[in-house]
């Protein structure tokens, strides 16, 4: 902790007042919850999503809730130049870019032997390539500024898998290694990089699972808390990683999974309840 941090009050350590944060994927689900959490902690939030109407709706919601500042724009993380241009412009207009969060991902649930080359490239390009584009652009801006925090989104599938998760799991494991390497390279310049690794979260993308009660219950029963997470339960840990309270955390994979990876494959022996 720097001397500046050591003089901050505890509430200030956990705040984002006067900070500028870009949340990619803010139009729904976890990204929307993260945008609300950052705004609630005092940040000016750029709500970015490939669905610009959804991003604009969230931006307006933040303003209506009293956010210190909010804006919206379309962002496709597959467009590396577009990512670079917007983030550079955001930093120039506000004189700073303190935090960037990247949540978008896709999954094609199929056995390895059934995967097509096109499906493989689609998942790898979005999850790994898109995260790399965001990491590289944000990292360059923050390196020059000498400060900043980047949060990429991984998954429990980086550690534990099941049939049909091969390519998705590989990309999520790769994201952790990207974050670790970026932390090693950028920490001397005051930039922290971490990965958040959610468990099962109720979002628009997981609706197909929720519509199948047996599958939904199986996932709920597989973690220590016995339930799915809500998006806001991912937002708190993500926003924390952007604050000065997390000033000594970099290169980490933070598992927010209800205890899934702690008890994976559990068996309750007789008499142990």
Condensed to tens digits (0 to 9), the pLDDT of residues 256-269 reads 999 999 997 666 65
Is residue 191 assigned to a domain? Answer: yes
Active-site position among 168, 216, 219, 248: 168
Is residue 225 assigned to a domain? Answer: no
Give one word for 18, left, alpha or beta, with left for phi > 0 and alpha for psi -120 to 50.
left
Supply the pLDDT for residue 158: 96
Q: Is residue 139 within 8 Å of 87, Cβ to Cβ?
A: no
Catalytic residue status for 216: no
Condensed to tens digits (0 to 9), the pLDDT of residues 70-117 reads 999 999 999 999 999 999 999 999 999 999 999 999 999 999 999 999
CA-only gyration radius of the chain, Å:
19
Supply the pLDDT for residue 83: 98
Q: Cα(7)–Cα(9) distance, rounded to whole angstroms?
A: 7
Count of domains for the chain: 1
Q: Cα(96)–Cα(229) distance, rounded to whole angstroms?
A: 33
Supply the pLDDT for residue 199: 96
What is the chain's length?
A: 273
pLDDT over 90 at 208, yes or no: no
User: Residue 10 burial (CB < 10 Å; 0-12/13-18/19+)?
Assistant: exposed
Is residue 269 assigned to a domain? Answer: no
Q: Is residue 49 within 8 Å of 75, Cβ to Cβ?
A: yes
Residue corresponding to tokens 């929307």 = 32
Condensed to tens digits (0 to 9), the pLDDT of residues 171-202 reads 999 999 999 999 999 999 999 999 999 999 99
Is residue 217 assigned to a domain? Answer: no
Do β-strands 191-198 and 69-74 pair in parallel, antiparallel, or remain unpaired?
unpaired
Supply the pLDDT for residue 204: 82
Supply the pLDDT for residue 269: 56
Condensed to tens digits (0 to 9), the pLDDT of residues 151-164 reads 999 999 999 999 99
Supply the pLDDT for residue 3: 54
Domain range spanning residue 190?
10-203+232-255
Is residue 128 assigned to a domain? Answer: yes
Q: Between 145 and 68, whose confidence is greater? A: 145
Is residue 78 assigned to a domain? Answer: yes
Q: Between 7 and 56, whose confidence is greater? A: 56
What is the CATH number for 147? Answer: 3.40.50.720
Is residue 106 assigned to a domain? Answer: yes
Please give the DSSP secondary-structure letter assigned to residue 201.
Answer: B
Supply the pLDDT for residue 102: 98
Residues 6+ apart with CB under 8 A from 101: 21, 22, 23, 24, 25, 31, 34, 38, 150, 151, 153, 238, 242
Please give the DSSP secondary-structure letter assigned to residue 126.
Answer: I
Is residue 219 assigned to a domain? Answer: no
């Amino acid at each position: 902790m720097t001397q500046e941090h050591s003089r901050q009050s505890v509430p200030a350590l956990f705040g984002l007042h006067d900070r500028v944060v870009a949340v990619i994927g803010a139009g729904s689900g976890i990204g929307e919850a993260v945008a609300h959490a950052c705004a609630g902690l005092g940040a000016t939030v750029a709500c970015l999503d490939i669905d610009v109407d959804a991003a604009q709706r969230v931006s307006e919601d933040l303003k209506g809730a009293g956010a210190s500042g909010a804006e919206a724009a379309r962002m496709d993380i597959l467009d590396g130049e577009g990512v670079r241009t917007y983030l550079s412009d955001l930093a120039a207009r506000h004189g700073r870019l303190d935090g960037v969060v990247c949540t978008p991902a896709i999954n094609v649930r199929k056995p390895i032997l059934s995967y097509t080359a096109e499906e493989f490239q689609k998942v790898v390009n979005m999850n790994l390539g898109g995260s790399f584009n965001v990491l590289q652009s944000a990292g360059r801006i923050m390196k020059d500024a000498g400060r900043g925090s980047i949060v990429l989104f991984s998954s429990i599938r980086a550690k534990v898998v099941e049939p049909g998760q091969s390519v998705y799991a590989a990309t999520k494991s790769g994201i952790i290694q990207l974050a670790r390497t970026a932390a090693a390279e950028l920490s001397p310049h005051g930039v922290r990089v971490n990965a958040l690794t959610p468990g099962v979260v109720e979002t628009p993308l997981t609706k197909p699972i929720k519509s199948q009660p047996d599958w939904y219950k199986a996932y709920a029963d597989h973690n220590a808390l016995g339930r799915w997470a809500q998006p806001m339960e991912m937002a708190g840990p993500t926003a924390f990683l952007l604050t000065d309270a997390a000033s000594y955390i970099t290169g980490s994979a933070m598992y927010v999974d209800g205890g899934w990876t702690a008890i994976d494959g559990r068996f309750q022996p007789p008499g142990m309840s």
